[in-house]
Amino acid sequence: MSGEPELCRGNDPDRLLAQVIAEAKSLGIPVSAAIAPQVRINARARTRFGRCVCRSGRFFIELSARLLDAPEQSCRQTLAHEVLHTCPGCQNHQARWKSYAARMNTAFGYRIGRTGVSQELGIEEDRPVRYRLVCEQCGAELTRMRKSPLIAHPERYRCRCGGRLRPAPV
């Protein structure tokens, strides 16, 4: 063993999904029984790492192909994020979803948040960066390729740590 983290590509995402579902259930988190057991891989997804879609009462979990070259823990964390969306009242990122995410983070060492950051997940950024914000408190960097409300009005938003965001040169 080289000490390098095991990559998701070397593992079966369907098996990882089953493990994540079992982890959530072990904490008493009410995940849906209607989750399709096959993870869909999306080779076109560039701005998201995962997605949970409900069709005809069934939930389908999708991962970006970019995650297949990330450490297994990043795949599991993204799958856990999406699995939590199958819980009643958790189709958004509000209080109930956040409480379940916090329980998973504490129990399994995940860092589930509303969004994932390429660097935190071990994925190289392959999008052109046109905008960059930096947290004045913790120094975290946020990059965007499109002008969004966050970029246009950073004063309306805060970093995860609560710090103010300021534009920075790209």
pLDDT value of residue 113: 82
Task: Give the pLDDT mean for 69-86.
Answer: 90
Task: Give the pLDDT mean for 64-85.
Answer: 88
Cα torsion 142, 54, 17, 102 to 10°: value is: 50
Residue 152 has pLDDT above 60, yes or no: yes
pLDDT value of residue 114: 75
pLDDT value of residue 151: 94
Q: Residue 113 has what DSSP assignment?
A: -
- Nearest CA to 81 out of 89, 90, 72 is that of 90
Task: Give the pLDDT mean for 45-70.
Answer: 87
The structure's pTM equals: 0.70
Say if residues 109 and 53 touch (Cβ distance below 8 Å).
no
